[in-house]
Amino acid sequence: MSFIQTKYDISRLFNSKSEISFESSGHIDVKYAGNKTTKDTPINLKIQMRNVYEKLEIDLELGFTFESECSRCLDVNLVNKDRNLTVDFNKNQSNDYDIDFGSDEIEISPIISELILNEMKLQYICKSECKGLCTECGKNQNLTICKHPKKNLKESPFSSLTELDL
Ligand SMILES: [Zn+2]
Ligand SMILES: [Zn+2]
């Protein structure tokens, strides 16, 4: 999969005072904690830019999918999101995204990355009743619940059995 287009020619916009729009689809690398975008699922972007006096308004419509690893059972799930964002910039002032409106081409990947990062959680749990992994053998307890005795629990009703070495 090719990368999503993040560089856009805005020279036309400042000459004609009109509105320009683009669509692009592809990959962008975004990673945070147990989350990451993958090349298997394209990110879809619609972008509109308007020149309003000293301001440049940018409308973004982003559809994206990323992988999230459950913090308890480590199972990887796909998370789908659709998010819209409108940002405006004063062309003559610096901005948080370091976008240079003095040039004909702007690079908007920081805006796209931020929009995706906002949806990525530090702790992701696949479902509220997720049982996590067995502390003894590491098996996913959502699939099968381990029946074997737990070695380190002295109070366990099974501890006498393990001592007999059956
Ligand atoms: Zn889980
Ligand atoms: Zn186990």
Percentage of the chain beyond pLDDT 90 is 73
How many domains does one find in the chain?
A: 2
Q: How far is the CA of 134 from the centre of ligand 1 (A)?
A: 12
Residues 45 and 105 grouped into a single domain = yes
Query: Is the model's pLDDT at 160 over the cut of 70?
Result: no
Which-ligand-closest: CA of 141?
2
Residues 12 and 82 grouped into a single domain = yes
Which-ligand-closest: CA of 123?
1
Residues 139 and 84 grouped into a single domain = no
Within a domain: 32: yes
Least confident of 67-76, 123-132, 151-160: 151-160
Q: How far is the CA of 68 from the centre of ligand 1 (A)?
A: 10
Query: Is the model's pLDDT at 123 over the cut of 90?
Result: yes
What is the model's pLDDT at position 97? 93
Within a domain: 1: no
Residues 100 and 33 grouped into a single domain = yes
Q: How far is the CA of 148 from the centre of ligand 2 (A)?
A: 6
Q: How far is the CA of 39 from the centre of ligand 1 (A)?
A: 23
Residues 157 and 89 grouped into a single domain = no
| CA angle 38–42–44, rounded 5-degree value | 135
Residues 53 and 103 grouped into a single domain = yes
Query: Is the model's pLDDT at 158 over the cut of 80?
Result: no
Least confident of 12-21, 72-81, 103-112, 128-137: 12-21
Residues 14 and 81 grouped into a single domain = yes
What is the model's pLDDT at position 34? 95
Residues 113 and 145 grouped into a single domain = no
Which-ligand-closest: CA of 149?
2
Average pLDDT for the chain: 89
What is the model's pLDDT at position 127? 94
Q: How far is the CA of 42 from the centre of ligand 2 (A)?
A: 38
Per residue in 89-121, pLDDT (tens digit) is 998 899 999 999 888 899 999 999 999 999 999
Within a domain: 122: no
Which-ligand-closest: CA of 145?
2
Query: Is the model's pLDDT at 85 over the cut of 60?
Result: yes
Q: How far is the CA of 83 from the centre of ligand 1 (A)?
A: 25
Range(s) of the domain holding residue 146: 131-166
Residues 108 and 161 grouped into a single domain = no
What is the model's pLDDT at position 142? 96
72 neighbors 130 (Cβ within 8 angstroms): yes
Residues 72 and 139 grouped into a single domain = no
CA separation for the pair 157, 44 (Å, rounded): 56
Burial readout 83-108 (b: 16 or more C-beta within 10 A, e: otherwise): eeeebebebeeebebebebeeeebeb
Q: How far is the CA of 41 from the centre of ligand 1 (A)?
A: 22
Which-ligand-closest: CA of 34?
1
What is the model's pLDDT at position 61? 98
Within a domain: 41: yes
Residues 31 and 57 grouped into a single domain = yes
Least confident of 17-26, 122-131, 150-159: 150-159
Q: How far is the CA of 109 from the centre of ligand 2 (A)?
A: 44
Residues 63 and 139 grouped into a single domain = no
